Amino acid sequence: MKNKTVYLAIGSNIEPKKNIALALKELSKIGKIAAISSFIKTRPEGFLNQADFLNGAVKFYTKLTPDALLKELKNIEQILKRNTPFRNGPRTIDIDIVFYGNLILKTPLLTIPHPRAEKRFFVLKPLAEIAPNKIHPVLRKQIRTLLKKL
C-alpha cells in the first residue's frame, strides 16, 4: 500500500507544550510528518471551567489503514496518559483524524472526514495554514473557504 496523506488535529490543555511535543515524537514512529501548523490558544468548548487549549494540525504520511491509524492514535493518547473523566473535559492530548486522503468513511468507531471539523475554528485555522486548498471531500469546499464562513 502506498502512503496516504492524512491531516490530523492535535490539542492539549494539560502541560500542552510538553504533551504536544511528545505526541509528535510518537507520531513520527508510525509515519512521516510532512508539515506542522502553528499552535493556537483556544477557549474550551462545552465544559468551560478548565485551562485554554493549544490546538494545531499535522500533515502526515502513513501506510496504515484508517482503522490501524485510529488504533495507533489511541495508543499514543494512552502513552500520554489521556484520561478524560467526562465529555469535553481537560486532556493531556487529543489527536483526531480530520482527513484521510479523500476518503469518506462512516463506521461505528470512525467517521472520516471528521464530522464536526467544518464547525470548529480550532481545527480549521491551523489546517488552513498548512492546507488552505485542501478540499473537504463531502462539502466540496476548500479549507480556507470553510474557515471564512465561520
| 99-120 residue pLDDT tens | 999 999 999 999 999 999 999 9
Q: How far apart are CA 148 and CA 144, in angstroms?
A: 6
Mean pLDDT of 53-81: 96
Q: How far apart are CA 96 and CA 51, in angstroms?
A: 20
Report percent pLDDT > 70 for the chain. Answer: 98
Considering the entire predicted model, what is its pTM?
Answer: 0.94
> CATH number, domain at 21?
3.30.70.560
Q: How far lies 92's CA from each of 21, 96, 99, 103, in Å? A: 11, 14, 22, 28
Give helix 16-27 / helix 66-79 axis angle, nearest 10°.
140
Res 85: pLDDT? 66
- Domains identified in the chain, total number: 1
Res 35: pLDDT? 98
Mean pLDDT of 43-63: 91
Q: How far apart are CA 94 and CA 57, in angstroms?
A: 11
Domain span at residue 26?
4-115
Containing 71, the helix (H) or strand (E) segment is helix 66-79
What's the Rg (C-alpha) of the chain? 14
Report percent pLDDT > 90 for the chain. Answer: 85
Q: Residue 29 falls within a domain, yes or no?
A: yes
Mean pLDDT of 60-80: 96
Q: Residue 125 falls within a domain, yes or no?
A: no
